Amino acid sequence: MPVPDEWVRALSAGGVERERAAARLHEMLLRVARAEAGRRSGQLRISGPELDDLAHQAAADAVLAIIAKIGEFRGESRFTTWACKFVIFEVSGKIGRHFWRHPAVRLEPVDWDRLPDRFGLDPARESEWRDLVRALRRAVQEELTEHQRRVFTAIVVDGVPLDALAAKLGSSRNALYKTMFDARRKLRASLVADGYLHETLVRQS
């Protein structure tokens, strides 16, 4: 494998030299994409050729992204680690988009009965948490904006993966995470005010 400077020089060059470097990069990223798709195959309902096709698409798109951003590589890690990051992100994004291909998957009216199970609340002890869940539902309805409520219910109640929701809404992972961050903070404050949770300091590690 070329050393970092050689990767950058070759991928920044024109003609045959860049084509060769891009082919070597694609070969490496395809190995990583296949391994990553296999590692995450439990999140998917595909395997075999379809999973391999996803890996091929991820590797090809990652090569294009890397060539487009080659000027941003600052040598803060090995070039290959930096390059691998792109293909890992591509696999993530494609798995997110793939989520909606299954005919049984769609956003449906919120089934709030799922909420206790999402947080491991034991049905046998419902008398202990019934009021908490009621307070949480009230806070979701009253404290969150419409957008926060939509994102919260899709991710938490319906169990839609964040990347899949980002693909569905034409948003980004960062934007939806920020929406959820603000929603979590509001809901916690509400449950603390109602006496269901204690005010806690974040662990400094």
Contact pick of 20, 39, 69, 102 for other proteins (by CB under 8 A) = 39
- Does position 51 interact with other proteins (CB under 8 A)? The reply is no
Residue from the set 45, 69, 77, 111 that interacts with other proteins by CB under 8 A: 77
* 99 forms part of the interface with other proteins (CB under 8 A): no
Closest distance of CB 188 from other proteins, Å: 4
Tell me, by CB under 8 A, how many residues bind other proteins: 50
Of these, 19, 128, 131, 142, which contacts other proteins (CB under 8 A)? 128
Measured from the CB of residue 67, what is the shortest distance to other proteins in angstroms? 17
Asked if residue 184 binds other proteins (CB under 8 A), the reply is yes
The binder of other proteins chosen from 12, 41, 80, 171 (CB under 8 A): 80
The reply on whether position 4 binds other proteins by CB under 8 A is no
140 near other proteins, rule: CB under 8 A = no
Residue 33: partners with Cβ closer than 8 Å, 6 or more residues away: 54, 55, 56, 58, 59, 62, 87, 90, 91
Q: Give a three-class secondary structure readout of the chain.
A: CCCHHHHHHHHHCCHHHHHHHHHHHHHHHHHHHHHHHHHCHHHCCCCHHHHHHHHHHHHHHHHHHHHHCHHHCCCCCCHHHHHHHHHHHHHHHHHHHHHHHCCCCCCCCCCHHHHHHHCCCCHHHHHHHHHHHHHHHHHHHHHCCHHHHHHHHHHHHCCCCHHHHHHHHCCCHHHHHHHHHHHHHHHHHHHHHCCCCCCCCCCCC
Nearest to other proteins of 11, 83 (CB atom): 83
Instruction: By CB under 8 A, name the binding residues for other proteins.
Output: 1, 28, 31-32, 35-36, 39-40, 76-78, 80-85, 88-89, 91-92, 119-121, 125, 128-129, 132, 136, 156, 161-163, 172-174, 177-178, 181, 184-185, 187-188, 191, 196-198, 200, 202, 205
